[in-house]
Chains A and B, each alone.
Chain A
Amino acid sequence: MNLSLNQVENTARKAVRGAGLPWCLAEDAGRAVRWLEMMGLPGTSWLLLVLASVGHRRTGELLLRQQSGPVWRAAGGTASPLVAGPSLVDAVHLHRDDGGFGLTLQGVVCPELCAGYLGVASLQTGAPLAMSWARGDMRILGDRVFVDDAQDVGATAETYDLAVRNGSRDPGRPGREFTGAAGSRRVDPRILDMLETLARRTYVESTEMSRLSGAGAGLSDTD
C-alpha cells in the first residue's frame, strides 16, 4: 500500500498514542518514523516492533535514569526508543557545540528506531551523528544515512546497548547509503493494518449530538 509521508507520520503518531503513550511522544515518534521512511528505511516496521515488545509496559518502567557519566538506563531495565528518542534529541541539541559528545543508552529495544530521532535532530542542527550497537552502525547526515554493510535492516526485538556520538561529514568506511526523497512510500499492508488498529483507539464514535452540529448539518443543502 502506498502512503504519502504525511500519512506515514499521522498513522505512526496515532498508533503510538493508541498504544497509550502521551500525545507529545506520539508526535515525536511520527516525525521520527517519517524521517526513516523518507530515507527509504522501514520506520513503520520498526515502530510496530517496538510497540509489540514494550508498548504494553507502563511509562514509569521506561523512564530513563542517568547512570554514572553519560550512560542512560530505563527504570525497568528495558528502554524504548519512543521514550528515550526525544531525550536523545535533547542531548544532541544540548551538546551541539561539544565536539566530544557521546552517550550510551543501555538495553534499548530496536535501536534502529532511534535513528529516526537522530535524523530529525541532525536535520534541526545540521550536525552529523553516528550510532552503533552490537549488530549495526548507522551514520546520519540529515538528509542521508549510511548503514553498515553487514547490517540487516530487519530489526529484532532483542535489546542492545546503543552508543550515540557526534558523526563526521565524511561517512568513513563504505556502507549502504539511503537518501531522502519526497514521494509516497510502500508500506506492508499487514503492518499498516496493525498500526491502524492501534490508531483507531484514538477515535471516538460520533454521537447524534455531534452529527447534528457538523458542517452542512441542519440545512436542506439545496439553497
Chain B
Amino acid sequence: MRLGRMGAFHQTRLSFMRALLRQLKREAWTFDRTMWRMDDRGVGVGVYQARGPGHTYSLVCFAHDLPPDMRSDRVIAERWDATFALFDGVPGEADIARMSRNVPLQEAGNCQETELVLARANRSVRLFEHVVDCLAGGEQPDPEFVERTGYLMRTTAVYGNGKFGLGDRERIAARPEFRGAFRVELLAVWLIRWFTVDIAEHLARQRGPSRAVPLDPRIRASLGVGNATGLGMAPFLGTHPGLLHAWMDARETALMRVRNIGCSDAVTGEVFRATLARARRDVARWRTDDARQARRVRELAGDLERLAVHLDGGALERPAPWDGLVRWSEEHLTTEGQEMLVSLVIEPHGELVDDLADGMALDELPLAAVDGAMTVGEALAMIEADYGWTLAIDFGSRDANARFWYVSEEKLEPRLGERFEEPGADREQPLAFAREMRRLRDDLLEADHRLGLADFLMARPEYRGEIRRLQLVSRMPYAEIRDNLISADMVPVDLLRCKLSFFGATRFDPKSDRWVRITMYQNAPYPDTIREDPADDWIYPPL
C-alpha cells in the first residue's frame, strides 16, 4: 500500500471505536458517575465506572484551573485543563489520593500497573466558554457554533501499554473486551467525552445557580472529543508491520466479501443511499484551513455527488453491484473519494464483516523469528518480488535521503529531522526501510547465493531487522508501507491519517504536514445513553 493512499483512508465499521461501542452494547455494560467532588472553579476529581461481564474499569478525572497562558496542545506542555487515568477495577480513597499526586503530572508522575491509560485534555476555549455561558444563563449554545468545533475538549496525549509505568498490555490482552487493538485507550477516551460535558454543565451551575440548564440532548450528542496528534504516533505503522497487515487485511477482507455479493437487495440499497446522503452532509461540514486537505474535501464532495448520480443510473441494480461501484470509482473518483467509497460499501454489511474487527490485534512475538534455512538466493528473489519498488529510488540523491527520524531528548518523542540541515542523523531511528532493504540487496548480491540466512546473519548481524521484515512481508503483504519514509516529498501526516482512520477518527484537520486535529465519537451515544441508543448508527451524522 502506498502512503498517498493510506493518507486518504476514512474510518470503516471495523474501526476500533465503533467495534468497541458495539461490544459494550452487546454485552450490556453499565456506566455510572460514582464520584463528583468539584469546587466552584471546577477544580476537583470525578470518577466514572464502566462495568462489564468480567471486569470493572474506572476513569479517574482530575479537573484543574489552568491559567490561559499555560494552555498548549504541545507534547512538551506541563499543565492541562484535565488529566485522566483509567483504573483497572474500583479505586479506593487511597488509590485516588495517590493518583491525585501523580496523574496531574502525567509523564513526570508515577503510574502503577493498576492504571491502564494515562491521558490529558485541554478545553477548546471559545466553544467551552460559549457553552458554559449559555447554559449558565438558561439558554442553549448556538448549534452552528457547536458543530463548527465539534468538541468541548481535546486530548493531547493518550498513553497505554506500559508507558510511564502503566499496566502492560499482557495484563489485559486476554480479556474479551480488549481483544481488538487500542480498545482500552478508546474506552478511556469515550469516558473522557462524558466528563467534558459534565464539567461544562458543572461550571454553568456555579456561574448561574438559579438559571442554569443542562445541555440539550441533541447538542450533547453532536459533541465528540477532539485530539491533536503529531509525529509521536507516526512511526507506529512502520515499527509494527504485523499489526499494520492485520488492520489492512481485515479492511481488504471486508471489502472483498462485499464485492463478492452477487446482487443487492432493495433494503441494503436503501441503507446505502441513506448513508451516502448522510456522508455528503458530513463532508459539507468538514472544515479545514489546510490548503491540501481543503482541496481534497472539495473534490470529495464532487466525488460523492457523482456517486449519487451514478446510483440514480441504476448502478445497484446490476449484477455484483458493489464490485461494480469500486471498479467505477477507480476511473471516476479521486483517491480520497475511492477510499470513502470503500467505507460506504462496507457500511450496510455489518453482518457480513463485523466479525473481522476482533482479528485486528495480534501477538507480535512469533513474527520476530527468522527462517535461517532460507538461502541468500531465495531472499534476493523475495526482495525482487516485494521490494522491487525500491530499485526506482536513487539513494545517491539528497531528496531520497532528505529526512531522518529521531527521538527528541526533550520529551522522548519521535521527530523528523532534515538530514542536511540539522544535527543528529548519526542517531537515526530504524525507519529507513526502503534504503536499508536496498543495502541488504546489494550485500546479498555479493554473498554465496546458496548460503543459509542463519549463516549470513552470523557474519552480518546488522541485517537481521531487514531479513526479519523481508520474510514477514512475504507472508503478510500489507505489512509494508511501499514508500521511502525519509524522502523529501514524504508527507508525515499521511501516516497519522491512516492510523487514526483505523481508530475511527473523523474531521481530519491538518495543521501542518506533521500534525493534525481530529474528532472522535462525534454523534456517538454516551455511556449514559448507550442502553437506549443504537451503538453503531452515529458515524455519519443524522440528516
Contacts and interface: CB of A to CB of B under 8 A. Distances in A.
Contacts of B415: 204, 206, 210, 214
A93 B126 contact: no
Contacts of A206: 408-410, 415
Interface size on B, as a range, is 35 or more
B458 A64 contact: yes
Interface in A180-194: 182-184
B162 interface: yes
A87 B465 contact: no
Given A2-B165, A120-B365, A214 B74 contact: yes
Taking each of B68, B418, B461, which has the highest tally of chain A beta carbons within 10 Å of its own beta carbon? B461
Nearest to A35: B365
A98 to B, nearest CB: 12
A216 B427 contact: no
Query: Which of A31, A123, A222 is the most central at the interface, judged by chain B CB atoms within 10 Å of its CB?
Result: A222
A217 B515 contact: yes
B514 interface: yes
B410 A223 contact: no
Residue from A206, A215, A219 whose CB has the most chain B CB atoms within 10 Å:
A215
B191 to A, nearest CB: 22
A153 interface: no
18 contacts: A2-B110, A4-B113, A23-B430, A24-B461, A86-B370, A93-B371, A120-B368, A182-B113, A182-B171, A204-B408, A205-B409, A210-B408, A210-B417, A214-B74, A214-B231, A214-B415, A215-B156, A216-B75
Contacts of A125: 369
B365 A2 contact: no
B168 interface: yes
Given A124-B368, A204-B408, A205-B423, 7 more contacts: A2-B112, A5-B170, A27-B368, A66-B458, A93-B372, A200-B409, A207-B422
Nearest to B454: A90
A5 B162 contact: yes
Nearest to A7: B162
Contacts of B22: none
A205 B410 CA distance: 7
- From A93, A124, A206, residue with most partner B Cβ within 10 Å: A206
A203 B407 contact: yes
A83 B232 contact: no
Contact of A90 (B76, B430, B457): B457
A64 B373 CA distance: 17
B328 to A, nearest CB: 38
Contacts of A64: 458
Nearest to A4: B162
Contacts of A59: 461-462
Interface in B238-293: none
Nearest to B411: A206
A48 interface: no
A24 B458 contact: no
Interface string B334-366: 000000000000000000000000000000011
A217 B409 contact: no
A198 B445 CA distance: 35
A23 B430 CA distance: 7
Contact of B372 (A91, A201, A222): A91
A202 B306 CA distance: 51
Contacts of B427: 201-204
A3 B126 CA distance: 40
Contacts of B162: 4-7
Contacts of B462: 22, 24-25, 59
B504 interface: no
Contacts of B169: 6
Interface residue tally on A, bucketed by range: 35 or more
Nearest to B372: A90
Contacts of A2: 110, 112, 165
A94 B407 contact: no
A214 B75 contact: yes
Contacts of B366: 124
Nearest to B367: A124
B124 interface: yes
Contact of A183 (B74, B171, B369, B416): B171
A218 B511 contact: yes
Contacts of A124: 365-366, 368-369
B28 interface: no
A150 interface: no
Contacts of A25: 461-462, 464
A41 interface: no
B464 A28 contact: yes
A55 to B, nearest CB: 15
Nearest to B233: A215
A94 B373 contact: yes
Interface in A46-98: 59, 63-66, 83, 86-87, 89-91, 93-94
B494 interface: no
A221 interface: yes
A209 to B, nearest CB: 6
**For B113, B373, B468, which residue has the most chain A Cβ atoms within 10 angstroms?**
B113
A87 B231 contact: no
A124 B364 CA distance: 10
Nearest to B458: A64
B76 A214 contact: yes
A204 B418 contact: no
A22 B76 CA distance: 29
B228 interface: yes
A184 B166 CA distance: 9
A126 to B, nearest CB: 10
A184 B112 CA distance: 8
Interface in B365-398: 365-366, 368-373
Contact of A221 (B71, B76, B372): B71
B464 A184 contact: no
Contacts of B416: 210, 213
